[in-house]
Structure 1
Amino acid sequence: MTGLTVPDGRGDDDRLVDLSDADGPLLPEQTSDDTDLGWGERTTSSDDAWLLAERPPHWS
């Protein structure tokens, strides 16, 4: 399989890519699936209310 052909007839290997206007890093430091939200976790920082509501009866 050959590279993409750009409108001026050059192949993909000959294409120039200008990265000087890139503001940030090319790759993010953390992906969205590497966060608590990506794992399906809740966005709240504390589960104290849930723990108190769900405590077993023998914990009175």
Structure 2
Amino acid sequence: MMTQEPRSRGDDDRVVDLGDDFTVLPEQTADDTDQGWGERTGDNDDRLLAERPPHWD
């Protein structure tokens, strides 16, 4: 007589808590920021506009 081993529960059978604060993926990852790219915070638009080449006028 063969005995059957109990089946293990797969991922489809497990209970997952999907509460109010549940997120699948973050809106933005840490490496998708200026700091993650090694850049300084803030902008330098004013400096770039002031240093425009003469042919841009």
Scaled by the length of structure 2, the TM-score of the pair is 0.44
* Structure showing greater Rg: 2
Scaled by the length of structure 1, the TM-score of the pair is 0.43
